[in-house]
Amino acid sequence: MNPTLALLITTAIKAGVLIFIVVTSFAYLMLFERKLLAWFQLRVGPIWCGPWGLLQPAADAVKLVLKEDLTPATADPFIYKIAPALAVLTALMAYAIIPFGTFPDGTPISIANPNVGILFLLAMSAVGVYGIALGGWSSQSKWPLLGAVRSTAQLISYELAMGLSIVGVLILAGTTDLHGIVSAQSAHHVWYVIPQIVAFVIYGITATAETNRAPFDLPEAETELVAGFHTEYSSLRFGTFFVAEYVNMITVSAIGTLLFLGGGDGPFVSVVPWLSILWFLVKVAFLLFIFIWLRATLPRLRYDRLMAFGWKVLLPVAALNLLVTAAFVALRGHGT
């Protein structure tokens, strides 16, 4: 067989398996969130569909598929229908380069490993807002449009602070290669969450805002926008937006794990390299728990305060942290 064709087939199989795993993880992440929120609020949560409610995601999927798919008469039909798919597509593309662990020979477990991996992830997270923006605009209704504008404004405001918080990690690691960043933390036996704790907090806040999660879920604030950018959507397209939201949650948690928590680094990994996958998943699950904990604890912010916090607090603090990190690295290099 032609080596190029074999490589394409292998990559396609890897991508198909990975998409299946991610979509399945989304379904049970949603169930996990509902169970946790019920525990926080002294409720029982989903319990009727299957043992312990484990079939609830399947029941929800069937319910959405069987619902009538309505399209507003004034909507742009093509953009209206493609917007949810665009949101999911950009969310899934990020997984092409995420290293989930390390093979015994030291190579990363990922579909691809480009030298500018972190830049690709930032690009995908930025492009992801197009699905929400186009969905809100194409509905030709004022409430979805306001939700789409809010989402775009949040992305612009918080993407700057997120980028600056990540640059500090890149300066310490000396590379934009995701596997190289993880390897640098393992080599120095210190995760970057320790020297970059300020950047880690900023990243967590900005990631929450970019994924439109509570308390930053202003694009879908039902108190003033009915339901936000997805007001005019129904059936499977309505559910597709939530697939994108939860997949993005997993994505930003995976990025945070790689940049600040050492990726798959952990006890006994040097002895059993396959344990790197387990440690990576445990860290991602911990960050996802933080997402859910915040939703159960904090009230939604007022929109003007959300924007002011991003521009007047997070951005200056992220810039200051970057300057301090750069000065530290420069002085350390000068000293050696």
Q: Which helix (H) or strand (E) holds 301?
A: none
Q: Are residues 172 and 55 in the same domain?
A: no
Tell me which of 66, 82, 102 is where a domain ends: 66
Q: Are residues 30 and 93 in the same domain?
A: no
| pLDDT value of residue 238 | 85
Rama region for 109: left / alpha / beta (φ>0; ψ in -120 to 50; rest): beta
Cα angle, residue 152 at apex, residues 147 and 157 outer, rounded to 5° = 125
| Domain that residue 316 falls in | 72-335
**Residue 62 CB burial class (10 angstroms; 0-12, 13-18, ≥19):** exposed
Tell me which of 22, 47, 66 is where a domain ends: 66
Partners of 108 in beta bridges? 102
Q: Are residues 211 and 115 in the same domain?
A: yes
Q: How far is Cα of residue 164 from the mean position of the Cα atoms in its chain?
A: 17
Peptide bond between residue 51 and the one before it cis (omega within 30 degrees of 0): no
**Is the Cβ–Cβ distance between 262 and 182 less than 8 Å?**
yes
Sequence-separated (6 or more) residues with CB below 8 Å from residue 69: 234, 235, 236, 237
| pLDDT value of residue 335 | 54
Q: Are residues 35 and 164 in the same domain?
A: no
Q: Are residues 174 and 298 in the same domain?
A: yes
Flag residues of the chain having pLDDT under 70: 1, 223, 333-336
| pLDDT value of residue 256 | 94
Tell me which of 42, 66, 90 is where a domain ends: 66
Q: Are residues 17 and 81 in the same domain?
A: no
Structural domain total, the chain: 2
3-state secondary structure of 155: helix
Please tell me the distance from the alpha carbon of residue 47 to that of residue 45, in angstroms, as a whole number.
6
Dihedral, 118, 120, 121, 127 alpha carbons, nearest 10: 150
23 to 8, 47, 151, 240, 244: CA distances (angstroms): 22, 22, 23, 11, 10
